[in-house]
A and B are shown apart, each in its own frame.
Chain A
């Protein structure tokens, strides 16, 4: 039976080599995140937010400690063997949108479903559904360079959600957007979280975004400084 925690970090350490010096990025991080939460990882630049998201997202490995994602202890598994877990369990939203420039909005959202070998009919239904959910039903054939920043991030959200992941990780999802667009994107993420029960973890130092989170994990100098249960989204 699945536990209620979708993420468990236990004594996680991570450092980077900068020339000859090892710079600690995370030190002894221990936390759990329950399913369905809408969580902000907050902290100043360089505090370790992105490193923490990378470790949770199984795109980087810790130096020490243990990480469990959706009841799978990913710590001993090489990253290239975690491709299936990233594909089926996680969704990613990037600060710079990271859409595939040669693919249309439709094809960008369709891509992960192709990796999952989903049938053509179901792919079409799911892609159209999620592009409709993010308000881009009319922009299916547009390529990223024909879309605004907000529209690109909406495509990225649809791409993250189309595989019906258990956990969506968003690294500074509104940092490259104007405040109005950022508010709309936030509303969209919160609404999806409420409707689907998918867990959202996003890094930010944007006060308005932090204010929308159910829980805020404050990181300072690579350590968990505080975990606050904020107001409901």
Chain B
């Protein structure tokens, strides 16, 4: 009877309940769309960061992260090949890729700029697919002196594919060394500051320039990101003389974005919460005022204060459930349309390329949207319910 009464009273003033439901549905849809967008952004940023740049795990020589190196590759992996063999035995590992990072000067004979180079295994780097070639071609497999150059650096140096540059850096022994390189292609990763300084070169070329046969680190890529911690623990048990870092420790930008979006999402949640609270509270308060005589009658007949409170809270619960379910349905429908509508967003700050708007329908997002609708509608019915239960019977019966 409690539920029946609540539902019928919700439907009693259809227009007012509809307006309240619109507010709740609007809030739930906003939470679903923004929450889904946030989830998709986090997922996309995480996966692109891992698979395009840093891998799920990075293996260094023990002490590399704490020691202050005085020379390039002072803490290099001497036996990368044997480590790689052990690592790749694990079926959860998709591939490994050796890398060296180096800095130096790049010159076209007339002008010099600083560069930051990532030395990669070309075949593995193509698989990572983390860059867009804007001119020329990708790194060839067997050409140690071929490089890719960042779009901004190429513009600054006035070079194009096929041109030659000279790279100069300090060797592992501490002396200066230089080598001429051919520009195979121009690339961008979409971040201007990076593109203005970036060079990519084969590991063999970097080893020649640095005069070494070692590598700085080994990137480990897994089939499934969720396995990261388990694989990390397994490697710790098997590998010695190395230290292993997870992607999460190596991706400060990812954490900054997560923090920022969570802050915005939290603020949005508070706004939605406040709007729903006031809207539902207003609806039920109006209902209490209109039904004052009815409340008096119910109390005269022996309805207890607690039961009366429960009746009005049940109305808030009903509104919350109806609004939450409608919000899920409409939010889900809108998300489907957006995901299939190829909606493009402009480039975010610091980026040069836009991206496709996508909403990820995660159970946690849907549950949050429903719970916010349900809980706020319930909470906002408490004050009107208390007000109703404290009415004086004789005054309520005489209410006109």
Q: Which of B4-12, B25-33, B90-98 contacts A (4 or more CB under 8 A)?
A: B4-12
Task: Tell me if B160 is interfacial: C-beta within 8 Å of chain A.
Answer: no
Whether A102 and B12, one on each chain, are in contact in the complex, defined by CB atoms closer than 8 angstroms, is: yes
Q: Give the distance in Å from the alpha carbon of A111 to the alpha carbon of B8 in the complex.
A: 15
Whether B397 and A59, one on each chain, are in contact in the complex, defined by CB atoms closer than 8 angstroms, is: yes
A-B residue pairs, 10 tightest by C-beta: A87-B302, A102-B8, A59-B393, A98-B297, A60-B394, A86-B302, A83-B304, A83-B302, A114-B1, A59-B300
Whether A54 and B394, one on each chain, are in contact in the complex, defined by CB atoms closer than 8 angstroms, is: yes
Task: Tell me if A38 is interfacial: C-beta within 8 Å of chain B.
Answer: no
Known interface pairs A59-B299, A60-B393, A60-B394; A80-B1 also in contact (CB < 8 Å): no
Q: Give the distance in Å from the alpha carbon of A112 to the alpha carbon of B299 in the complex.
A: 11
- Fill in one digit per residue for B281-299: 1 if any A CB lies within 8 Å of its CB, else 0: 0000000000001101111
CB distance from A83 to the nearest CB of B (A): 5
Task: Tell me if A84 is interfacial: C-beta within 8 Å of chain B.
Answer: yes
Task: Tell me if B301 is interfacial: C-beta within 8 Å of chain A.
Answer: yes
User: Which residues does chain B contribute within 8 Å of A207, judged by CB atoms?
Assistant: none
- Fill in one digit per residue for A97-127: 1 if any B CB lies within 8 Å of its CB, else 0: 0101111000100111011000000000000
Whether B301 and A112, one on each chain, are in contact in the complex, defined by CB atoms closer than 8 angstroms, is: yes
Q: Give the distance in Å from the alpha carbon of A86 to the alpha carbon of B301 in the complex.
A: 6
Identify which of A54, A98, A102 contacts B9 (C-beta below 8 A).
A102
Q: Give the distance in Å from the alpha carbon of A94 to the alpha carbon of B397 in the complex.
A: 9
Q: How large is the interface on B (under 10, 10 to 19, 20 to 34, 35 or more residues)?
A: 20 to 34
CB distance from A218 to the nearest CB of B (A): 23
Contacts from B to A (Cβ < 8 Å): 1, 4-5, 8-9, 11-12, 293-294, 296-305, 307, 392-394, 397
User: Which residues does chain A contribute within 8 Å of B5, judged by CB atoms?
Assistant: 100, 102-103
Known interface pairs A102-B5, A107-B1; A115-B301 also in contact (CB < 8 Å): yes
Task: Please report whether the interface of chain A is mostly helix, strand, loop or mixed according to DSSP.
Answer: helix
Given A83-B305, A92-B301, A101-B12, output 18 extra A-B contacts at Cβ < 8 Å.
A54-B397, A57-B300, A59-B393, A84-B302, A86-B301, A87-B301, A88-B302, A90-B302, A94-B297, A98-B297, A100-B297, A101-B294, A102-B8, A102-B11, A102-B12, A112-B301, A115-B302, A115-B307
Chain A residue at minimal CB-CB distance from B5 = A102
Task: Please report whether the interface of chain B is mostly helix, strand, loop or mixed according to DSSP.
Answer: helix
Tell me the count of chain A residues lying within 8 A, CB to CB, of chain B. 28
Known interface pairs A100-B294, A101-B12; A111-B301 also in contact (CB < 8 Å): yes
Chain B residue at minimal CB-CB distance from A116 = B302
Known interface pairs A59-B299, A86-B300; A80-B397 also in contact (CB < 8 Å): no
Q: Give the distance in Å from the alpha carbon of A114 to the alpha carbon of B302 in the complex.
A: 11
User: Which residues does chain B contribute within 8 Å of A92, judged by CB atoms?
Assistant: 297, 300-301
Whether B297 and A112, one on each chain, are in contact in the complex, defined by CB atoms closer than 8 angstroms, is: no
Task: Tell me if A211 is interfacial: C-beta within 8 Å of chain B.
Answer: no
Q: List 21 A-B contacts (CB under 8 A).
A: A59-B300, A59-B394, A79-B392, A79-B393, A80-B304, A83-B299, A83-B302, A83-B305, A87-B303, A90-B302, A96-B293, A98-B297, A98-B397, A100-B298, A102-B8, A102-B11, A102-B12, A103-B5, A110-B1, A114-B1, A115-B307
User: Which residues does chain A contribute within 8 Å of B393, judged by CB atoms?
Assistant: 59-60, 79
Chain B residue at minimal CB-CB distance from A92 = B300
CB distance from B283 to the nearest CB of A (A): 16
